[in-house]
Amino acid sequence: GARAAGAAAASAETVTFLDSHIECLPYWLQPLLFHVKQDWRRIAMPLIPTIDADNFRIKDGGLKTLAFTWGMSHYHIHDKIRHRIEELGQDEAAKNPDAPTMSPIMAGGLFTITKAWWDTLGGYDKEMQIYGGEEFEISFKTWMCGGSLHLVPCSRVGHVFRSNEFWQGQVYTVPGALIHRNKLRTAHVWMGEYARIVELVIPRLPQDKPLGDLTELKALRDRLKCKDFNWYLKNIYPELEPPNLAHAMTGAMRNPKFNCCLDTLTTKNQEIGVYPCHFEHGTQ
C-alpha cells in the first residue's frame, strides 16, 4: 500500500511512519532517531497519548507497551513487562521509567525504522490487504530475525480516536475476512505449530478468500535464519501461555433443537452462556 510505496521511494537512512489523525508533540522525533542510531536493527515507537476527539486536548496515558491474545488482538502489558525488566535488572530501564522498554508488538501505525532494516525484512507482506495484521508481522520478524522493538517514552505522538457519540462503527467498511486473512498469513509464516491455536480462535476464511501463497515469506524467514516462535515465547513474551491441545477436542457444543451453542460471550473468568451458533470459532 501507500506505506510500502513511500518506504520504497525513501532515500534517507531512516523511515518514520505516521497516521494522518495524529499530532506530534515537541521534540518527538529526536528520541526515536537516537534510539535506532544505536542499533540499525531496532524499531522505535513513541508513547501514544489519546487526543480527545471533541476538544483535541491531550489526555494522560495512552498506548504504551503492547502484547496480544491468541486471537491476535492487542492489550496493554506495560506494568508486567516493566516488572520483568526490574527482576532481570536489564539496562537502565530497571531504574529509569523514561528509558526505552522492550515491547512484544507495536501498535502498527507509528514507528521509526532504519531503511536498511526495513529492506532486510522485506517490508510488509505484499499480499496483505487494507490493514490489520501488518503490526504482528513486522513485530515478529523483527524480534525473531535478530532485531528488537522498543517503546521510547520520551517521544510522544498524540492520536485521535473517534468518540462513540458521533461516530458509530467503521468510517469505511473493511470486511472482517480480510483482516482475519492478514493475521492468519502472519500466523502460518511466523508462529509455526502455534498457528493452529490462532485458527481455533479466528473465524474461518470464506472460500473466496484463500490464504494465498506463503512461499516467498517462508523463504525470507529461512534466508535470514530467524528463530522460531518457541524462542519468541520464551524470551520476548513468556506471559503468553499456550493451551495444551495434545488431547483436546475442538469445535462448538451445539443444542440441535434450538441451534444454540455454548459461548464465552466475550467475558473473561465469568460463567459461559448460550448464543445462536455461528460456526466461526472465536467465542464458541
Q: What is the pLDDT of residues 221-257, one digit of tens each?
A: 999 999 999 999 999 999 898 888 776 677 788 999 8
- CATH superfamily assigned to domain 1-248: Spore Coat Polysaccharide Biosynthesis Protein SpsA; Chain A (3.90.550.10)
Residues 139-153 have a mean pLDDT of 96
Local confidence band at 208 (pLDDT 50, 70, 90 cut-offs): confident
Domain ranges of the chain: 1-248, 251-284
168 pLDDT tier (thresholds 50, 70, 90): low
Residue 140 to residues 25, 59, 85, 124, 229, Cα–Cα distance (Å): 28, 30, 20, 12, 8
Q: Looking up cell 440441535, which residue turns up?
A: 256
SS3 content of the chain, % helix, strand, coil (to 5): 30, 20, 50
User: What is the model's pLDDT at position 60?
Assistant: 79
- Going by pLDDT thresholds of 50, 70 and 90, the confidence category of residue 84 is low
N-terminal to C-terminal alpha carbon distance within the chain: 34
**pLDDT (0 to 100) of residue 216:** 96
Q: How far apart are CA 62 and CA 36, in angstroms?
A: 22
Contact 130, 174 (CB under 8 A): yes
Radius of gyration, alpha carbons of the chain: 20
Is this structure's pTM higher than 0.95?
A: no
Most confident of 1-5, 77-81, 219-223: 219-223
